[in-house]
Amino acid sequence: MLRWMIKSLFLEPLTLLVAIASAASAFLLIIMFEGIFAGESEQIVAYVRNVKADVWVMQRGVSNMHMATSYLPDWKVRQVSELPGVAGVESILYLNTVVEVADQRWFSYVVGLDVPSEYAGPWAMAEGRDQPAAGEVVVPEVFAHMSQLGIGGTLRVTDREFTIVGLSKGTFSMANSVIFVNKVDLEDIMSSFDITSFMLVKAEPDTTPEQVAAIIEGAVEHVSALPASQFLKNDKRLAMQMGTETIALMTFIGGALAVLLVAFTIYSQVARQRRELAVVKALGVTNRAIYTSVVVQAIGITLASVAVATMIAMALLPALSNLIPAVTMTLTLVSVAKITILGLFVAVIAAYLPARQVARLDPASAFQT
């Protein structure tokens, strides 16, 4: 039966190629939406992931950075720096606000740096300086490109105008961008002097982040201290709830349409062989063998389609990233595995339905005109 199935599958190569191409286009749609969702989900917490902190310290009751407010007196920075296990501390002031460029507005995280900053500022630069002096700002390269700005350009943060002195890499997402100013300027904007929002703590080589966090919470009043890994998990969880709903909805709708297309393609491919299946049943082939053959056929088409879609996506993503730099797209093995499992599930069900109809037929009907 399987031999017959393989022969019948390749008997009409054009039909087979159309089926694979149709399913591949559906899988490509899912892969692209999943790639955008995965990329933006990671990019929205890029700052927390990339700064070189082992422990984050903030106001008690705060456990993340995204859309959070935290205020600590500056003197606590020195207190933390003197604790055992602490190799270094940098503090930042932090504000969620809208940045204006001409008639355009972007929601941004504004990070106020104590300059010089060793590890709280930008982690990669495309151009210019990464240490903003008073009245200066470092903005994402993508942000500058979309706003037609460059080194020496200006933008407004609330009622203050800043001069661009650096273009950073990896600090932009559709949900938010990260810009860097001098802490003195941000203190003036927020009217918050001698205040810090977060402390970024480096641990001694022989001390774990968990140990340092426990030491800080035990020695300093009214603060929360979290290992960077836990802080990142908290921030991503909240960011996913608040910042990626639209992307998630797009992914769901695109995925639903793709699933329907895959189901229709596989159903049509199996249904096209309905008469042949009825004939082999009349010749004595069992229902189990019929089910097995159509399921194997569906699995083969699905795996071929996923492979084609994945190869096309791998070729397209770099080009799309250059063409649409505002959107971060990532193709991961986990995403491809999820899409493959979903595709196989849909394909097996779609193949089962016409096979079930054949299994219920009277064998004599196969020879009726």
For residue range 226-246, what is the model confidence (pLDDT) as tens digits? 999 999 999 888 776 655 555
Crossing angle for the helix pair 333-359 and 245-271, to the nearest 10 degrees: 40
Instruction: Please name the residues in contact with 322: beta carbons below 8 A apart, sequence gap of 6 or more.
Output: none
Burial degree of 171 (CB within 10 A; 0-12, 13-18, 19+): buried
Q: Residue 224: what are its φ and ψ, rounded to 5°?
A: -115, 140
For residue range 196-211, what is the model confidence (pLDDT) as tens digits? 999 999 999 999 999 9
Each residue's pLDDT expressed in tens, for the chain with a length of 369 residues: 556 555 555 556 677 787 788 888 888 888 887 777 777 777 888 899 999 899 999 999 999 888 788 999 999 999 999 999 999 999 999 998 888 887 778 888 999 999 899 989 999 999 999 999 999 999 999 888 888 888 999 999 888 899 999 999 989 887 778 999 999 999 999 988 889 999 999 999 999 999 999 999 999 999 999 999 999 999 888 776 655 555 566 666 766 776 777 777 777 766 666 666 666 666 666 667 667 777 787 888 888 888 998 998 888 877 776 666 666 777 778 878 888 888 888 888 877 776 676 666 555 554 554
Q: In terms of Cα–Cα distance, which of 110, 108, 112, 111 is closest to 143? A: 108
Would the pTM count as exceeding 0.85?
no
Residue 318 exposure: Cα atoms within 13 Å on the Cβ side: 3
In angstroms, the Cα distances linking 342 to 46, 246, 302 are 29, 22, 10
Question: Looking at the chain, how many residues does it have?
Answer: 369
Q: Which residues pair with 106 in a beta bridge?
A: 99
